[in-house]
A and B are shown apart, each in its own frame.
Chain A
Amino acid sequence: MRRRLGYEGVAVTAPVTVPYVRYSTHGAHWFIGQALRSLVKTAGIAKDDIDGLTVSSFSLVPDTAVGVTQHMGLSPRWLDHIPTGGASGVMSLRRAARAVQAGDADIVACVAADTNHVDSFRATLGSFSDFARDATYPYGSGGPNSIFAFVTANFMRRYGATREDFGRIAVAQRANALKNPNALFKKPLSMEEYIAARPISEPIHLFDCVMPCAGAEAFLVMREERARDLGLPYVLVRGAIERHNAFADDPVMERGGWLMDRDDLYAQAGATPADVDFLQPYDDYPVIVMLQLEDLGFCGKGEGPAFVRTQRLTHDGDLPVNTSGGQLSAGQAGAAGGFLGMTEAIRQLTGQAGARSVPAARLGLVSGFGMVTFDRCLCTGAVLLGSPS
């Protein structure tokens, strides 16, 4: 395979969050509008300076990104609609970076937003995909809970993971969340409470599940010089990978596409996992965090349980993981859940993470995981972000 073009000279900046709420009577467009407004304000640019746009949202239907342009009075010369949930952050950044490098756009706004009405989640489940409608929703209608219960139960059986191991991830992320003013969960979570939580879909219990909510996350992608001219704190893209429907012949999901491409990722950055100061993995369920620890090379296959027993995962720990609290403790604002790690990583590397800062962080890894259409997640991706030296 031909060696890919690097991501040199691409800056990622202006991380914004439209505060999460459990339920909202607003539509997805409202959250997109507020995210764009916040981007413009944060970057000190005019609305019309945005000449590229990516939109990620589930609740935007039947609209797509193009409808958003008219709704918001934008006239971009480059547009992408990226409805890939947990992988949308990485995928949006990769596409936007190439557009900027090629000169197809100067400033790309990457926006992920979803609203959440009282019955939105249930209504989404049965119509999430053809396969979900035909082959999973009629089976108990548990949504992703039952699929990840299969994945978790299998992982426990194969590799000896215990509920406590997953609990370590949930408890550490809650500790991080308590220092994130935007996190919806405000109370500490103890291991005892995690273990005692009511079962949802055995072995998945309440605190293994994310809470759906409404909100938005967004950032800007532009050339490094432009960010410097605007006086914006920014990070650089050191490497990026993406893979879909990896290991399709595995009868049950035990590994993700990161494993196929991680050597490429680290080679782009000239780095190793040991150089990574923090990890923002997609965390729809703790088992998926554990898969990313393994498949992104922080430990070997099946060593995830032992890794979390010895490593502290809080923002001030050995390997800080999901320093915002992640979706497990901040809330899952639909597709914005796929952007949460990205905005958090930008904040960490630009000194905007406040009380939850990772000391002296220079290199962060953001990984995405999205779209359970049948029995597994299909999209994986990862980005290494670094401080400008």
Chain B
Amino acid sequence: MTMPLMRPKRKNPVLRTPQMNLPPGARGRVALGMTAAAAEGRFELQACAECGAVQYPPREACHRCLSADLRWQRQSGAGELLSVTTLSHSNDNFFRERLPWRLGLVKLDNGPTLVTHVHGEVAGSGARVVVGARLDRAGQAVLIAFPPEGSEHMADDKVLREMTSDPKLRKVLVTDGKSPTGQALARALIGAGADIVWLGHAEPWKKMPGFAEVAALPQVTPVALDLTNERSVSELAGEIGGKVDIVINNAEVHRTAGIAARRGTDVARAEMDVNYFGLLRLAQAFAPALKGRSADGVLNATAWVNILSIYALANFPPHGTFSASKAAALSLAQCLRAEMRPAGVRVINVFPGPVDDEWNQNLPPPKLAPSALAAAVVRALKDGVEDVYPGDVAQEWLARWRENPKVLERELAAGGL
């Protein structure tokens, strides 16, 4: 049983806020294949396409038949804990600050032996376990042995919490509370146990449906925030920057036009001003504060979420300028991720397909319900993944894009979805 996480005592303001020491983050190029899969929530190992052998650690040839044709293959992770040790000493500061730390030697049912972190609910050696891959605070895949069935509060395990960004008891900024997605995010975060949700709203005199109800929830505090206004962003950062644990940037401008359908660049500029420059302003104001608090106890600053679009991968011509602004935002988000990594703050990019809102009114179903998008964001925070493609449309686009980006481009140009 994992003890449920309790609200920690108020911190001593005299003491220096602990700084982050990342766990060892160096990996070889081959081993990064495991990180790539874990970034999307999958546990994959190398399997030989010729003889079928599954192997670990990752390597450049099949250890059984020497084939170089090695594919990343999803694993069930079922296995047995052969041996377990509790470290009372470590050569690395990250672990030194978190001792004692339990490690296991696990034999997977399909062959390889692994060294893993061990969830607190796993009993001693001989226990059945299910190994999963998670990103650690350095952003690299690590393996963790879970019990086959966890208890209610298993997410609160000390080891697992180092690899996730659970919103429970945390303070979250959602940048746009006026959209259906923003309101769904607020409700989902409260459902996941968030302590405070700061809900941004630009132009407060404009009343949008649903906002008043969400703003009235006890955990919600509406805050004035206009991402097109640097001053507005930095004023809010001055006010709450030192307290925010999770930033979710869902503010966006979405208009439905390509190049020829409009004259001038005003609309495209407005999209870029929020979708791209808005992210840049937000990151310049809030990222330093998050980085400074990334090791601040059990309720540390932990994650930054960008609601992008599946159109960031390939331009959808009917929404051409919007696609371009999201592609720009994706590129900037990768930069942000690299800059947040030294502090161990996770940057999660969410790539939804068309959301069921006013700007996608003319698109055929299936469309992603705002509540489903919000649920996917909360799940990503809890699972500690880095890239999320929620909904059937996004999943299909992703598969087609991975298969052949050029073919997808041609299909989209021909009016396909």
Contact = CB atoms under 8 A, between A and B. Distances in A.
A140 B97 CA distance: 11
Listed residue (B101, B107, B140) with the most chain A CB atoms within 10 angstroms of its CB: B101
B91 A143 contact: yes
Contacts, number: 123
Contact of B87 (A122, A201, A248): A201
Contact of B142 (A122, A138, A145, A202): A138
Contacts of B84: 150, 153
A161 to B, nearest CB: 13
Interface string B24-36: 1111101100000
Contact of A146 (B25, B103, B140): B103
Contacts of A49: none
Nearest to B105: A150
Interface string B75-103: 00000001111111111101100000101
A126 B82 CA distance: 24
A182 interface: no
A374 B95 contact: no
B91 A251 contact: no
A157 interface: yes
B56 interface: yes
A200 B89 CA distance: 5
Interface residues of A, number: 39
A130 interface: yes
Nearest to A206: B89
A252 B57 CA distance: 15
B125 interface: yes
B306 to A, nearest CB: 27
A38 B113 CA distance: 45
Given A139-B142, A200-B88, A134 B113 contact: no
A150 B138 CA distance: 25
A306 to B, nearest CB: 22
Contact of A141 (B56, B90, B107, B125): B90
Contacts of B138: 138
A72 B255 CA distance: 75
A71 interface: no
Given A154-B82, A251-B107, A374-B57, A138 B88 contact: no
Nearest to A143: B91
B115 A139 contact: yes
A142 interface: yes
B115 A130 contact: no
Interface centre among B24, B25, B85, B140 (most CB of A within 10 A): B85
B24 A137 contact: yes
Given A130-B57, A136-B115, A138-B23, A252 B86 contact: no
Categorize the interface residue count of chain B: 35 or more
A60 interface: no
Contact of A133 (B28, B87, B113, B117): B28
A121 interface: yes
Nearest to A204: B85
Contacts of B63: 248
A201 B85 contact: yes
B136 interface: yes
Contact of A151 (B25, B83, B87): B83
B248 to A, nearest CB: 29
A362 to B, nearest CB: 40
Nearest to A122: B91
A61 B349 CA distance: 42
Interface in B96-142: 101, 103, 105, 107, 113-117, 125, 136, 138, 140, 142
A141 B93 CA distance: 9
B58 interface: yes
A376 to B, nearest CB: 9
Contacts of B103: 139-140, 142, 146, 150, 201
A198 interface: yes
A150 B142 CA distance: 18
Given A141-B91, A142-B91, A154-B125, A202 B27 contact: no
13 contacts: A137-B24, A138-B24, A139-B117, A141-B23, A141-B90, A145-B89, A147-B115, A150-B103, A153-B125, A201-B88, A251-B113, A252-B83, A374-B57
The 5 lowest CB-CB distance pairs between A and B, nearest first, are A141-B92, A149-B85, A135-B57, A134-B31, A150-B83
